[in-house]
Structure 1
């Protein structure tokens, strides 16, 4: 991090205030916490599904877990419980697309990280400027809680649908709108920082690890107590984003991957096997980024996770697994760290499960999976 920008992400304070102390407790009483999904359903609830349950194999398994795709969403834009965006407005369309993306995750078993980054805004009080004979646009920005003045220069490309060679530009604190005549683009400050080269070298601090599967869809509506509490604690000096990742699990076993058996070619069997895998991956990433004490999580959740790990490990005869969070073309936003994990774009973790506890070992970056 450049020396002229101080460390802007404060360490966690102890103890954490409750949702009630933060004034948001009443918002979260509508459903149990998502980790209750880790509990096995009552027998009578699955009787009719028994013929569709997966066929298991007996040989020991090892897994290699990689990230199939990953995308950041700016959580602050939904955390204030805004009204439904006006889709006739370019910024409103941008917000609605993000809401649709987040709402679509509620039926999927994806991993998300709630991350903090130092606060950055466009400076709407100063003017943008164009380079001579080019589409290089210099945009003033404000960095950090003290709103240090800076700027970024981005080189635009004319979109296919444009009818103008150079767009008209409108800047607010969070969005820049580019009107190309036949097309209007709206980009948030974090879209711009991810898509265009710039000199900012901040890292993304992982505060919380979760799984998106939740029929109530509370993550997209900012109704998930644990995530909203983190937002309340850190929103003054930091921005908060969700890094949502689809994981690929390669099963190495003498009996092959159970998911490829013809008997498991139905949605119920496929989901049960996927649930085993993502539940285990989620628990391992919680342990890696949040530490052994899982600060901020209840004793009840810790015990439920132990029980779930024991069951899933036994059902899959799982001996060990590796999680490789590397991407083919990572950007600066993928410089991830936490209180328990060092800054890196190349987090590789070897994991074993012992009596319901995940033991994690970080693999040195020079080692390849």
Structure 2
């Protein structure tokens, strides 16, 4: 649910009571199958920790601005997000960068945790199409690596690098908070969400905070078809109302699964509003059950999710329903992988 900042001025209601804003409904029971269509990590600490605009004349500045634009753009979309922590990691700018013999294997020095214990990671680079050099010039800062290939400069944050390239470090993403990106004030991209301020304060210097933005697709099983396909519901206001309902129901299940039955970062009034909303949405949609298949496409080596209540795994299959205004969630066994399959 998108709740306004109590300290801000009241936000006008998104919809009027006009006919166009009210979606047409079906009367048959519905069951939903929800899958993750796309998943994208953003290193939240970088955006929450600076006030000035990055210098776009610098490759790292261009990277920062592009990532900020991407996160700000989600304020206009009904995506979900998971606020996750990972053990603090930085490049050791005083360490030695080592190349493998006759290869593009690169060993980079790391500092792990608040105590900055020394470690390293070895990756094998891939030559980009526009490169004019066989090996790039490597420049390290605490948070970024720049690879100058002559024809272009690649920039990766330390988390980008560990997500993209194979390594042996076992560092699952721990989910602490679930939310939605849609926000007229764009507080997520501006680093102004109060709940995330509290989370970062709790995590301290031992962990980095990342935002995992999830785009989902919902397949509706209903004898009368998917209400979203009704002609009237092609109207932008009606379509958005249905999307908002589905996002709220999915969000509630993820909160229950990852944050537990009594989430620490949720005030009582938010829990009350969510219960009322879920009851209304369940009734309006005749929603009997929904299944969440939480597997992260293209998350590479950051595909493992866990929480205080959930064991780390690259895929979580959840059976859900609404009862008394609460999302009830049970983990399901994963289907067996067919013989000969790479999945």
Interval containing the TM-score (normalised by the shorter chain): over 0.9
Contact persistence 1:122–1:172 (CA under 8 A): yes
The CA deviation at 1:108 is 0.6
Q: Which residue of 1 aligns with 2:292?
A: 323
Runs of 4 or more, structure 1, over 4 Å off, are none
TM-score by length of 2: 0.93
Instruction: Describe the SS at the equivalent of 1:361.
Output: strand
Distance 1:51 1:178, change over 3 A: closer
Secondary structure class of the residue paired with 1:243: strand
Residue in 2 that maps onto 1:46: 16
Give the equivalent residue in structure 2 for 1:362. Answer: 331
SS at match of 1:235: helix
Alignment root-mean-square deviation, CA: 1.9
Query: 1:240 maps to what in 2?
Result: 209
Does residue 1:162 correspond to 2:131, yes or no?
yes
1: CA distance between counterparts of 2:255 and 2:200? 18
Residue 262 in structure 1 maps to residue 231 in structure 2 = yes
Question: Partners in 2 of 1:31 and 1:139 — Cα distance?
Answer: 48
Contact 1:139 1:152 in 2 (8 A): yes
Q: Structure 2 unaligned runs (5+)?
A: 338-343
Query: 193, 198, 209: which is aligned to 1:229?
Result: 198
Preserved contact between residue 81 and residue 221 of structure 1 (Cα < 8 Å)? no
Per mean C-alpha deviation after superposition, the further-off stretch among 51-60 and 233-242 is 51-60
Q: Distance in 1 between matches of 2:322 and 2:183?
A: 25
2 CA distance for matches of 1:64 and 1:366? 15
1:367/1:353 CA distance change after superposition, 3 Å: farther
Of the structure 1 ranges 335-344 and 190-199, higher mean CA displacement relative to structure 2 is found in: 335-344
CA distance in 2, matches of 1:150, 1:242: 25
Structure 1 contact 81–222 (Cα < 8 Å) conserved: no
User: 2:171 aligned to 197, 202, 206, which one?
Assistant: 202
Distance 1:177 1:185 in 2: 6
Deviations 1:303-325 (A, max 9, x none): 00001001100110000101110
| Contiguous gaps of at least 5 residues in structure 1 | 1-26
Q: Which residue of 1 aligns with 2:79?
A: 110
Question: What is the count of residue pairs matched by the alignment?
Answer: 333
**Conservation of the 8 A alpha-carbon contact between 1:283 and 1:358:** yes
